[in-house]
Amino acid sequence: MLRRTEMQPNSRIYVAGHRGLVGSALWREFQRTGFENLIGRSHAELDLLDAAAVQRFYAREQPDYVFVAAARVGGILANHTRPAQFIYENLQIQNNLIHGAWQTGVKKLLFLGSSCIYPRLSPQPMKEEHLLTGPLETTNQWYAIAKIAGVKMCQAYRRQYGCDFISVMPTNVYGLRDNFDLDSSHVLPALIRKFHEAKVSGAPSVTCWGTGQPRREFLFGDDLARACVFLMEHYSGEEPINVGYGSDVTIRELAELVGRVIGYEGSIEWDTTKPDGTPRKLLDSSRLFALGWKPRIDLETGVRLTYEDFLSRCTDKPAAKA
Ligand code: GFB
């Protein structure tokens, strides 16, 4: 449903997870467009696992709009090896934030899910109606189940209490303030770090995980932030809405692109003892695109921007760029 929600420059906007990849992009977008009453809390200031603390925070701050960008996230290995943390923390964080938003009378809430909520072998590209039509990918089923519960929470509060809570399903997101830790990161920041370090050390090869054959769609964090603001203002409905770039690449193609951007001249090896995960995860974003939104940052530009961010935040000395 198309419905204009007016967020005013002085609206009280709470970005949960404002220091993360998506939350910090939202924060920048609001600052850029002149919003004056942004609310953010670091983990040290507010533990989102603590229901009573979240209730007190809501009661004190009385936000008008809430963006749920706080979550336990990670790449394929972190999801696979820390299932309890992924299911518990995500359920707890979103329960506290969604339930608290209802208690406080928040005008509108946007919940961020993930494309991994769709079945492992979903038809491609994946449409919103494919949700819960088949078994999940096993490596991230714990995270996916939590995110599906978040979608259902928003639907349930909308049905029973009339809350304007919407769910947005982004594809694989990357960008500024990404996590470059090799044990917990997603593929794109991991490859940036691996290729950079191989270039600096003169290593003859870089080892990537899996077969390189899975296909993934990548969306730059600032594009996702713009899409979230757009949907907060233009979408109100029970169904989740997909946010993708519109096309995908193989992991091998991604590795070649990252190597080229960084200027690495060695070879690429594949460690097939590591999981591939789901074979393909391309979202059908036609509902969003039909509302008039389009991404702006193509993959190569996004990789360059993310590499610059990595060089400035995570290294002492920038390597000479290609
Ligand atoms: O991004 P990624 O960790 O997660 O991995 P998913 C994507 C693909 O890249 C997999 C391969 O096929 C990996 O095997 N890959 C190659 C690598 N080299 C590397 C590497 O050095 N590091 C990493 N991390 N991958 C996640 C889910 O799935 O996607 C989350 O686990 C979430 O729950 C997220 O949904 C968006 O795309 O497979």
Q: What is the share, in percent, of the chain residues with pLDDT greater than 90?
A: 95
How many independent structural domains does the chain possess? Answer: 1
**Predicted structure pTM score:** 0.96
Pocket test for ligand 1, best of 21, 22, 76 (most atoms within 8 A of CB): 76
The boundaries of the domain holding residue 21 are 13-174+218-246+282-298
Q: What is the DSSP letter of 128?
A: G
Alpha carbon distance 154, 167 (integer Å): 7
38 falls within a domain: yes
Contact 257, 299 (CB under 8 A): yes
3 falls within a domain: no
Q: Which pLDDT score is estimated for 321?
A: 46
231 falls within a domain: yes
Q: pLDDT tens for residues 155-180?
A: 999 999 999 999 999 999 999 999 99
233 falls within a domain: yes
Q: Is 233 exposed, middle or buried (0-12, 13-18, 19+ CB in 10 A)?
A: middle
Distance from the CA of 6 to the center of ligand 1, in angstroms? 37
pLDDT > 90? residue 17: yes
Return the CATH number at 103.
Answer: 3.40.50.720
Q: Which pLDDT score is estimated for 69?
A: 98
> Active site includes 143?
yes
Distance from the CA of 45 to the center of ligand 1, in angstroms? 31
162 falls within a domain: yes
> What's the mean per-residue pLDDT of the chain?
96
Alpha carbon distance 221, 291 (integer Å): 20
> Which residues pair with residue 165 across a beta bridge?
109
63 falls within a domain: yes
